[in-house]
Structure 1
């Protein structure tokens, strides 16, 4: 007899039979026995997973162990996760699929569905600013743990912001509410910021650079916000403001020896560079406060003309 292995412990056994009588007559025959592995691996791990959870309690994906009683070889293992969540559902379904395959091609598939209920966790914060304190970058107010890929939402009617910049000079005194929401597995995490704008301003001495506030963005689109590039806190001290604006190639696109907070993204023909409205992008300023004794101030300014 002989044994021919096909996969795992399966294969074929052929048995040859030969008989002879006393007269020397001989007869022979054979029989073939086939051993075939048709059963997939068996799940050994105790699977105890919930079917319904809130988004903050989604369990970790367990590592499952399988065994195969017809194979001494390693089992191939795959895992797949799918979700019906699109960003708007109050309930959605996560599906986990484990597939274990032995060397004979037999597979065992374990599927588990988890129904997830979404929630919105709100974190409140309050800050107070004087209307003369300059622009507020709302992204700087986010606590640790929040990414900065989303947009702020204005909850107070009648105002708008651009790129997360809130300018107290553009609004009346009072409270203004902004929200910032991120999404993780259907859980909404919202940071709700209330900004109180008041007139409790601290007057800094004229010899301090902290007194000078310079625009970070200019968006001359007619909405009344960030229409011009502003240098505030200099006129009260009697300083004459000299301004030069450059593009990313170092060309001067605007300059003034007595700036009056009136640049709205236009490059006049007297400048080095093309005349007319400038394209969107980041530009760079150098501000000199004449006869102030202060060093020149330089930095980037974003221009959004659309």
Structure 2
């Protein structure tokens, strides 16, 4: 390294890194007191039937549990990519992503301990753990097993095709489709605009900050895939085949939170059909942005915009 060494400050990875530095937030800096009160009200509302109470609390708890476990999993699985990336700008970005995934896992863990469990205790429900098997679909577990395998494959065989597969699992599917769909559904249902559902402002604020982080993560992965296909000659079928195998797992995971609900139509918020369509729309739009040479990767504020 010579004395004239300098960073490529116009590089997108460096700019994502700077955006992360400037957008720091603390998972413990979010006020959850109103969420606790309103969660209790949801679970103890005398105007609701027992079925409505069970359905709404189970749907919310299942979503929260899957988010917490998912953020913990991606925190663990990102390290192989950090060893594979070639430039200092990419490395600088990936350090922020690893840190942010840990923050997201911390937020959902805190939410369960400080909101979900106290609310369960207050209304006399069984106190639960986010790690109970009932919260997770088999397809959810398989999706994250495949994501882990795709990332760790880079340690054994770091090829541009395997990097595309890793980005497809991690950045495009887990973060770009599954997480985005869940964040959209939780925000729509608990932002205070649904008359029959409680306002959970701490959860909505946390999701907003997490989405801001994940816009960088998704944008990074999309740019790397687009470069691999249009500049490095990777056959786009590598992307099609990878996503074709795992996107169905996303759809089944999205539907899983409704398995404990006898009549999904009784839920007063955004239901499974609309969530499944939203997930499909995210997938189709991002494929066009990556595969169409004339299309551009959206700006950060557009990448994880809810609508």
User: What interval of TM-score do these two structures reach, taking the shorter chain for normalisation?
Assistant: under 0.3
More helix by share: 2
Instruction: Kindly name which structure, 1 or 2, has the bigger radius of gyration based on alpha carbons.
Output: 1
TM-score (norm 2): 0.23
Greater fraction strand: 1
Greater RCO, 1 or 2 (C-alpha within 8 Å, sep 6+)? 2
Q: Could you state the TM-score of these two structures normalised by the residue count of structure 1?
A: 0.23
